[in-house]
């Protein structure tokens, strides 16, 4: 299936590791031009070297996207280097898991700063530019898409992920609401809700669950996977495949969708 993504300028946040990095590789395989944004310069440089080793040149931008001005500057930098943005994929941010008894005001705020605002800030910066292009042309855009990687915690509360789940729930609401508003301009906005996808963050979640239950990490992992009908956690590449499809012309009539990628199960930790 030809996804018609060749030479499209794709900005991916949280692109230096995990699901974000897998998404970057998937878009690169389709011939897109990539601007990768993440907070840590070291992991970004490692990602850049991975692509360079494969003969692919990508632009990397280090930014703290929880700050609106920094997000705006990062998006402006991406456009200066590679031209108008066609596609934004938000995969940045993950709230720290915390026992309910340890929650306080700072923990709730930190979750919003870690997950909600990085997506909102970059999305706002890109939407502003897409809308200006649509209004200048006097007709809907043909290839503008935003894909937000959120998480099933926004629909299914778990004890150690309440602040992060609340941030996810807010992202789901804003994604659908903005998708309806901007559809008339040809701007499609969708969300992916991964269940447990085996990344470093999920490895940490397994460790926390093992501690909570007083069992080994191996047992916690086995118990978690036993609750999934497909019998295993997702791979980052499986989330990436859906992100690329939703951003492509093959999904031209899909907007305001929230698609779970959870192997048929609700999250269990």
| Domain contains 2 | no
**102 and 212: one domain?**
no
Q: Are 227 and 158 in contact (CB under 8 A)?
A: no
Residue of 127 and 220 predicted with greater confidence: 127
Q: Are 258 and 43 in contact (CB under 8 A)?
A: no
**176 and 105: one domain?**
yes
Domain of residue 86 covers: 9-197+235-261
**204 and 132: one domain?**
no
pTM (predicted TM-score)? 0.90
Q: What was the pLDDT predicted at 266?
A: 65
Q: How confident is the model at residue 99 (pLDDT cuts 50, 70, 90)?
A: confident
Least confident of 90-94, 98-102, 211-215, 245-249: 98-102
| Domain contains 269 | no
- Split into its structural domains, the chain has a count of 2
- Please say if the pLDDT value at position 268 is more than 60: no
- What span, in angstroms and rounded, lies between the C-alpha atoms of 78 and 91? 16
Phi-psi region of 148 (alpha: psi -120 to 50; beta: other; left: phi over 0): beta
pLDDT tens column, 110-140: 889 889 999 999 999 999 999 999 999 999 9
> Which one-letter DSSP state was computed for residue 253?
T
**176 and 60: one domain?**
yes
pLDDT tens column, 14-28: 999 999 999 999 999
Q: How confident is the model at residue 267 (pLDDT cuts 50, 70, 90)?
A: low
What's the mean per-residue pLDDT of the chain?
Answer: 92
**224 and 127: one domain?**
no
pLDDT tens column, 46-73: 999 999 999 999 999 999 999 999 999 9
**224 and 239: one domain?**
no
Q: What was the pLDDT predicted at 216?
A: 92
């Amino acid at each position: 299936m030809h996804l018609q993504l060749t030479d499209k300028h794709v900005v991916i946040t949280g692109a230096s590791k995990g699901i974000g990095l897998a998404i970057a590789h998937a878009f690169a395989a389709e011939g897109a031009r990539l601007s990768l944004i993440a907070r840590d310069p070291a992991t970004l440089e490692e990602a850049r070297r991975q692509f360079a080793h494969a003969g692919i040149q990508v632009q990397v931008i280090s930014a703290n996207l929880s700050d609106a001005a920094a997000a705006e500057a990062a998006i402006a930098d991406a456009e200066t280097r590679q031209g108008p943005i066609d596609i934004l994929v938000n995969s940045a941010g993950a709230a720290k898991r915390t026992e309910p008894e340890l929650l306080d005001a700072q923990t709730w705020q930190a979750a919003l700063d870690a997950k909600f605002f990085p997506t909102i800030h970059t999305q706002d910066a890109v939407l502003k530019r897409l809308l200006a292009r649509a209004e200048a042309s006097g007709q809907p855009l043909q290839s503008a898409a935003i894909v937000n990687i959120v998480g099933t915690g926004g629909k299914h509360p778990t004890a150690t992920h309440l602040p992060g789940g609340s941030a996810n729930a807010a992202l789901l609401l804003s994604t659908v609401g903005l998708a309806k508003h901007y559809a008339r301009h040809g701007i499609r906005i969708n969300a992916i809700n991964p269940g447990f996808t085996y990344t470093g963050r999920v490895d940490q979640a397994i460790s926390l669950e093992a501690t909570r239950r007083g069992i080994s990490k191996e047992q916690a992992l086995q118990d978690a996977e036993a609750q999934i009908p497909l019998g295993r956690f997702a791979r980052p590449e499986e989330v990436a495949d859906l992100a690329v499809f939703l951003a492509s012309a093959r999904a031209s009539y899909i907007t305001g969708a929230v698609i779970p990628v959870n192997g048929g199960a609700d999250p269990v930790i």
